[in-house]
Chain A
Amino acid sequence: MTNGWLPAAAQWVHIDWVLLVAAAWMLIGVAGVLALRRLTLVARVLFPLGGAFGLVLTGIALSAALSSPEVAVLPIGLPGLPFHFRLDSLSAFFLIVIGSVSAGVSAFAAGYFRKGEGTPPGLLAFEYHLFLASMALVVVADDAYAFMVMWETMALSSFFLVTANHRIVEIQRAGYLYLLIAHIGAIGILLCFGVLQANTGDYTFANMRAQQLSPFWASLAFLLALFGFGAKAGILPLHVWLPEAHPAAPSPVSALMSGVMLKTAIYGVLRVFFDLLDTPLWWWGLLLLVVGLATALFGVVFAAVQVDMKRLLAYSSIENIGLLFAAIGLAVLFSAYGMQPMAALALTAVLYHVAGHAFFKSLLFVGTGAVLHATSERNLGKLGGLIRTMPWVAWAMLVGVLASAGLPPLGGFVSEWLLLQSFLFSPALPSAFLNMLIPVVAALIALIAALASYTMVKFFGIIFLGQPREEKLALARDASGWERIGMAWLVGGCVLLGLFPVQFIALIDPVTRSLIGAGMADGVAAGGWLLVPVAIERASYGPAIFLLGVAASFALAFVLVRTLYHGRLRRAAPWDCGYPWQNARMQDTAEGFGQPIRQIFEPFFRMERELPTPFDVEPRYRVSVGDHFWHWLYLPLARAVERLAGVIGLMQQGRIAVYLLYSFATLITVLVVVKQ
Chain B
Amino acid sequence: MTWLGVFSQLLEIVAALLLAPLLSGWINQWRAWLQNRSAPGLLQPYRMLHKLFNKESVIAEHASPLFRGAPYIIFGCMALASAIIPTLSTDLPLSPAADAIALVGLFALARVFVSLAAMDVGTSFGTLGARREMLIGFLAEPALLMVLFSVTTIVETLANRDLGIHPSLALAGVAFTMVSLAENARVPVDNPATHLELTMIHEALILEYSGRHLALLEWAASLKLFAYSCIGLALFFPWGVAEAEAPLALLLAMPALILKLAIGGALLALLETLSAKMRIFRVPEYLATAFLLAVIGMLVHILLAA
A interface, CB within 8 angstroms of B: 384-385, 387-388, 398, 402, 405-408, 413, 417, 420-421, 424, 432, 435-436, 439-440, 442-444, 446-447, 449-451, 453-454, 456-458, 460-462, 465-467, 530, 536, 538-542, 545-546, 549-554, 557-558, 561, 564-577, 582, 584, 586-588, 592-593, 595-596, 599-600
- Tell me whether B73 and A453 are in contact (CB under 8 A): no
- Tell me whether B130 and A554 are in contact (CB under 8 A): no
Q: Which of B20-28, B30-38, B60-68, B263-271 contacts A (4 or more CB under 8 A)?
A: B60-68
- Tell me whether B142 and A461 are in contact (CB under 8 A): no
B200 shortest CB reach to chain A, Å: 10
- Tell me whether A550 and B99 are in contact (CB under 8 A): no
**Contact A584 to B72, CB < 8 A, known contacts A402-B112, A443-B291, A446-B146:** no
Does B128 have its Cβ within 8 Å of any Cβ on chain A?
A: yes
Give the distance in Å from the alpha carbon of A417 to the alpha carbon of B135 in the complex.
22
- Tell me whether A582 and B123 are in contact (CB under 8 A): yes
Find chain B residues with CB under 8 A from A567 CB: 212
Give the distance in Å from the alpha carbon of A443 to the alpha carbon of B297 in the complex.
13
B291 shortest CB reach to chain A, Å: 7
- Tell me whether A457 and B115 are in contact (CB under 8 A): yes
- Tell me whether A530 and B96 are in contact (CB under 8 A): yes
Find chain B residues with CB under 8 A from A466 CB: 119-122, 127
- Tell me whether B108 and A573 are in contact (CB under 8 A): no
11 new A-B contacts at CB < 8 Å, known A440-B295, A568-B56, A599-B281: A408-B105, A413-B102, A446-B146, A451-B138, A453-B111, A460-B116, A541-B97, A541-B99, A565-B54, A566-B56, A582-B123
Find chain A residues with CB under 8 A from B126 CB: 576
- Tell me whether B124 and A569 are in contact (CB under 8 A): no
Q: How would residues 292 to 306 of chain B score, 1 for a CB under 8 Å from any chain A CB and 0 otherwise?
A: 001100110011000
A591 shortest CB reach to chain B, Å: 11
Name B165-207 residues within 8 Å CB distance of A. Answer: 197, 207
Find chain A residues with CB under 8 A from B80 CB: 546, 549-550, 553
- Tell me whether B97 and A530 are in contact (CB under 8 A): yes
**Contact A588 to B131, CB < 8 A, known contacts A385-B62, A541-B97:** yes
Q: How would residues 116 to 151 of chain B score, 1 for a CB under 8 Å from any chain A CB and 0 otherwise?
A: 100111111111101110110111011001100110
**Contact A453 to B138, CB < 8 A, known contacts A465-B119, A558-B72:** yes
Count how many pairs of residues, one from A and one from B, have CB atoms less than 8 Å apart in the complex.
Answer: 245
- Tell me whether A588 and B128 are in contact (CB under 8 A): yes
- Tell me whether A596 and B131 are in contact (CB under 8 A): yes
- Tell me whether B99 and A540 are in contact (CB under 8 A): yes
Find chain B residues with CB under 8 A from A546 CB: 80, 97-98, 102, 106
Q: Which 7 A-B pairs have the closest CB atoms?
A: A466-B122, A588-B127, A553-B76, A467-B122, A450-B138, A461-B119, A545-B97
- Tell me whether A545 and B94 are in contact (CB under 8 A): yes
Could you tell me the dominant secondary structure of chain B's interface residues?
helix
- Tell me whether A587 and B122 are in contact (CB under 8 A): yes
- Tell me whether B105 and A561 are in contact (CB under 8 A): no
Find chain A residues with CB under 8 A from B64 CB: 387-388, 465
Partner of A439, one of B53, B116, B120, B298: B298
Does B250 have its Cβ within 8 Å of any Cβ on chain A?
A: no
Give the distance in Å from the alpha carbon of A570 to the alpha carbon of B208 in the complex.
13
- Tell me whether A436 and B299 are in contact (CB under 8 A): yes
Give the distance in Å from the alpha carbon of A245 to the alpha carbon of B66 in the complex.
33
Would you give 24 A-B contacts (Cβ < 8 Å), ordered by A? A406-B108, A407-B108, A407-B112, A413-B102, A417-B101, A436-B299, A443-B142, A443-B295, A450-B138, A453-B138, A457-B115, A465-B116, A541-B101, A545-B97, A546-B97, A554-B76, A564-B53, A568-B57, A572-B61, A574-B60, A574-B123, A576-B207, A588-B131, A596-B131
Find chain B residues with CB under 8 A from A443 CB: 142, 145-146, 291, 294-295
A633 shortest CB reach to chain B, Å: 28
A243 shortest CB reach to chain B, Å: 21
Give the distance in Å from the alpha carbon of A417 to the alpha carbon of B137 in the complex.
18
- Tell me whether A453 and B76 are in contact (CB under 8 A): no
Give the distance in Å from the alpha carbon of A539 to the alpha carbon of B119 in the complex.
35
Give the distance in Å from the alpha carbon of A512 to the alpha carbon of B135 in the complex.
38
Find chain A residues with CB under 8 A from B106 CB: 408, 546
- Tell me whether A442 and B149 are in contact (CB under 8 A): yes
Give the distance in Å from the alpha carbon of A575 to the alpha carbon of B204 in the complex.
12
- Tell me whether B56 and A569 are in contact (CB under 8 A): yes
- Tell me whether B124 and A587 are in contact (CB under 8 A): yes
- Tell me whether A554 and B73 are in contact (CB under 8 A): yes
Give the distance in Å from the alpha carbon of A451 to the alpha carbon of B142 in the complex.
10
- Tell me whether B123 and A549 are in contact (CB under 8 A): no
Find chain A residues with CB under 8 A from B53 CB: 561, 564-565
Q: How would residues 43 to 87 of chain B score, 1 for a CB under 8 Å from any chain A CB and 0 otherwise?
A: 000000000011011111111101000001101110110010000
Give the distance in Å from the alpha carbon of A442 to the alpha carbon of B299 in the complex.
13
Does B42 have its Cβ within 8 Å of any Cβ on chain A?
A: no
Give the distance in Å from the alpha carbon of A461 to the alpha carbon of B122 in the complex.
9
A266 shortest CB reach to chain B, Å: 24
Find chain A residues with CB under 8 A from B60 CB: 571-575
A515 shortest CB reach to chain B, Å: 26
Find chain B residues with CB under 8 A from A545 CB: 94, 96-97
Name B211-235 residues within 8 Å CB distance of A. Answer: 211-212, 216
- Tell me whether A576 and B123 are in contact (CB under 8 A): yes
- Tell me whether B112 and A549 are in contact (CB under 8 A): no
- Tell me whether A570 and B57 are in contact (CB under 8 A): yes
Give the distance in Å from the alpha carbon of A465 to the alpha carbon of B119 in the complex.
6
Does B255 have its Cβ within 8 Å of any Cβ on chain A?
A: no
- Tell me whether B124 and A586 are in contact (CB under 8 A): yes
Give the distance in Å from the alpha carbon of A595 to the alpha carbon of B284 in the complex.
14
Find chain A residues with CB under 8 A from B15 CB: none
Partner of A574, one of B119, B197, B208, B294: B208
Does B4 have its Cβ within 8 Å of any Cβ on chain A?
A: no
- Tell me whether A453 and B134 are in contact (CB under 8 A): yes
Partner of B122, one of A417, A561, A584: A584
Max chain A CB contacts within 10 Å: which of B54, B66, B105, B291?
B105
A300 shortest CB reach to chain B, Å: 9
- Tell me whether B135 and A454 are in contact (CB under 8 A): yes
- Tell me whether B112 and A457 are in contact (CB under 8 A): yes
Find chain A residues with CB under 8 A from B257 CB: none
